[in-house]
C-alpha cells in the first residue's frame, strides 16, 4: 500500500502510537509519507526519522481584534471561523499534494485543536481516521459544561453593566462552540472509516457524532517498555498529564487512606502539567500526609526505570478512552490498581494483571493497593502474570496486524463504510 498520513499531535501517548504504527507499516513493505501543520510536535519521536514528512505552516491571525479590549472574547465566533478557515486552508494544501502523489489511502489521526479536521473532506482517496477521542469538552459532563447558562442572579444586578457584558460575551462564546461542533461532526462523517482504541471510545463516538466506529486495539512497544530488573522501591507510580481528567486527586486520597506505616510514595509522571492543578495536588497531598513527587517530560529511559522499580501503577483517570499506561506498566512487570471506568475495563483483568475498583471510593482503592503491595506469594505471582498477559495479548505486532487489515479492507471497499 501507498499510505498518506496526516496528523497534528503533541508529545505524548498519541504521538508514540502513531510513530509505532508508521514504523510497523514501513517494516512490512508499505510506502508511507506524512503531512502535518507546524503546530505538531517535531521534537518528540519525529516522524521524519521514519519517512518523508511535509510540514505546512499554519497561522491563526485574528486581525485588529487581537488588540482591542475584550475584542477576541466578544468576537469569539469570528475567531473560531478564522481558526477553522486557517486549518481548512492547511488541509486543502496537504490534500493537493496527497492527490498528486497517487496514494492508495489517507490515514489521519486526531488534531490537538479540533479533534477532527477537514482533511478527509478534501481528499478523494479512501480514508481512515484513528480517533483517540472526540473533543471531550463538548460531549462530557466536566465540573462545568460550556453550554450551561450563566449563574442566575436576582435584584438590580440583573440589569447592570457587568451582567450585560457577561451575557454578550457568553452569547459569542456559545455561538463559536456551535460552529466548532458543526464543523467537527461534518469532518468526522467525511472519513470512510473511523477507528477507535476501545469499545468505550466506540460508544463515545456514537454519542458525539451519531457515527459508527470500529475498534482497532493498540499495542505496546516492548523495546521501550520491559523490566530493567532493578530492585523494587517503596513507591507507586501514576502516569498522565497533571490535570483534572487524569485523576491525581483520586490517587492521593486512596494512598492517604492507607495506614501511615504502609503508605507508599506517589511518583507521578506526565508530559504536561496544569500549574494551578499541580499546586492544588501538592496541597492536597500535604493534607493527606502523602509524599508526592511530580516529574514532567522525563526521558523514555527514566520512565522505564521508574516503572520497573515501582510496586504498582495506580490508574485513576476520569473517563479515559483507553490509556496505554496500564499495559506499558505491565510490560515492565508492574501490576495495576485502578478504577473500572472508561477503556481500562478492556485491558485490566482482575487477578491477572491488576485489580479494578467499581468506583472511586478511596478505602476500596487503598485495600486493593495494600493487596498488591504486600510481600506475599500472590503479589509476586501477579507481577509475573502481568508481564505474561501483556506479552501474549498486547504486542505491537498484533496491533499492526489489526491496523493493516483495516487499511486493506477500506481500500478494497473504495472508501465509504459508515
Cell of residue 173, nine digits:
462564546
Name residue, grid cell 503479589.
379
Structure confidence at residue 47 (pLDDT):
95
The CB density around residue 413, as the number of other CB atoms within 10 Å, is: 12
Q: Is 326 helix (H, G, I), strand (E, B) or coil?
A: helix
Q: Pick left, alpha or beta for residue 323 (phi over 0 → left; psi -120 to 50 → alpha; otherwise beta).
A: left
Judge contact between 368 and 357, C-beta under 8 A.
Answer: yes
List the single range of 17-31, 144-158, 239-253 with lowest mean pLDDT: 144-158
How far is the C-alpha of 266 from the C-alpha of 285, rounded, in Å? 9
DSSP state of 311: S
Q: Is 32 helix (H, G, I), strand (E, B) or coil?
A: strand
pLDDT bucket at 402, cuts 50 / 70 / 90: very high
Structure confidence at residue 141 (pLDDT):
64
**CA angle (311 as vertex; 306, 315 as ends), nearest 5:** 80
* % of the chain surpassing 90 pLDDT: 74
Cell of residue 367, nine digits:
485495600
Task: Give residue-wise pLDDT tens across range 241-273.
Answer: 999 999 999 999 999 999 999 999 999 999 899
Judge contact between 325 and 385, C-beta under 8 A.
Answer: no
Structure confidence at residue 144 (pLDDT):
75
List the single range of 15-24, 38-47, 58-67, 98-107 with lowest mean pLDDT: 58-67
List the single range of 48-62, 184-198, 328-342, 360-374 with lowest mean pLDDT: 48-62
Domains of the chain, earliest start first? 2-219+397-413 (3.40.50.2000), 235-394 (3.40.50.2000)
The residues with which 356 forms a beta bridge, in sequence order, are 338
Amino acid at each position: 500500500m501507498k499510505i498518506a498520513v496526516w496528523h497534528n499531535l503533541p508529545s505524548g501517548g498519541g504521538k508514540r502510537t502513531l510513530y509505532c504504527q508508521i514504523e510497523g507499516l514501513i517494516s512490512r513493505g508499505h510506502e508511507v509519507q506524512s503531512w502535518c501543520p507546524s503546530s505538531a510536535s517535531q521534537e518528540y519521536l519525529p516522524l521524519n526519522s521514519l519517512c518523508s514528512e511535509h510540514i505546512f505552516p499554519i497561522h491563526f491571525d485574528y486581525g485588529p481584534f487581537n488588540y482591542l479590549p475584550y475584542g477576541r472574547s466578544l468576537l469569539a465566533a469570528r475567531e473560531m471561523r478564522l481558526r477553522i478557515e486557517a486549518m481548512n486552508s492547511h488541509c486543502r494544501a496537504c490534500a493537493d499534494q496527497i492527490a498528486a502523489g497517487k496514494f492508495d489511502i489517507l490515514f489521519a489521526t486526531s488534531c490537538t485543536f479540533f479533534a477532527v479536521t477537514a482533511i478527509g473532506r478534501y481528499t478523494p482517496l479512501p480514508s481512515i481516521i484513528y480517533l483517540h477521542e472526540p473533543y471531550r469538552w463538548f460531549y462530557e459532563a466536566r465540573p462545568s459544561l460550556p453550554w450551561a447558562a450563566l449563574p442566575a442572579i436576582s435584584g438590580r444586578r440583573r440589569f447592570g453593566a457587568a451582567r450585560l457584558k457577561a451575557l454578550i460575551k457568553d452569547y459569542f462564546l456559545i455561538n463559536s462552540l456551535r460552529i466548532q461542533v458543526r464543523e467537527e461532526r461534518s469532518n468526522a462523517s467525511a472519513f470512510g472509516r473511523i477507528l477507535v482504541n476501545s469499545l468505550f471510545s466506540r460508544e463515545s463516538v456514537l454519542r458525539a457524532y451519531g457515527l459508527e466506529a470500529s475498534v482497532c486495539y493498540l499495542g505496546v512497544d516492548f523495546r521501550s517498555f520491559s523490566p530493567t530488573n532493578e530492585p523494587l522501591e517503596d513507591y507507586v507510580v501514576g502516569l498522565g498529564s497533571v490535570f483534572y481528567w487524569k485523576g491525581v486527586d483520586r490517587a492521593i486520597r486512596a494512598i492517604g487512606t492507607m495506614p501511615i506505616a504502609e503508605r507508599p510514595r506517589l511518583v507521578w509522571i506526565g508530559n504536561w502539567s496544569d500549574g494551578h492543578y499541580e499546586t492544588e495536588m501538592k496541597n492536597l497531598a500535604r493534607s493527606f500526609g502523602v509524599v508526592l513527587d511530580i516529574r514532567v517530560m522525563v526521558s523514555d529511559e527514566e520512565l522505564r526505570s521508574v516503572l520497573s522499580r515501582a510496586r504498582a501503577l495506580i490508574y485513576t483517570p476520569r473517563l479515559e478512552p483507553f490509556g496505554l499506561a496500564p499495559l506499558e506498566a505491565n510490560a515492565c512487570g508492574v501490576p495495576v490498581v485502578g478504577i473500572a471506568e472508561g477503556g481500562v475495563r478492556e485491558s485490566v483483568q482482575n487477578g491477572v494483571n491488576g485489580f479494578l475498583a467499581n468506583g472511586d471510593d478511596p478505602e476500596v482503592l487503598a485495600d486493593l493497593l495494600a493487596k498488591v503491595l504486600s510481600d506475599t506469594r500472590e503479589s509476586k505471582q501477579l507481577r509475573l502474570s502481568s508481564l505474561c498477559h501483556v506479552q501474549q495479548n498486547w504486542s505491537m505486532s498484533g496491533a499492526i496486524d489489526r491496523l493493516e487489515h483495516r487499511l486493506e479492507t477500506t481500500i478494497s471497499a473504495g472508501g465509504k463504510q459508515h
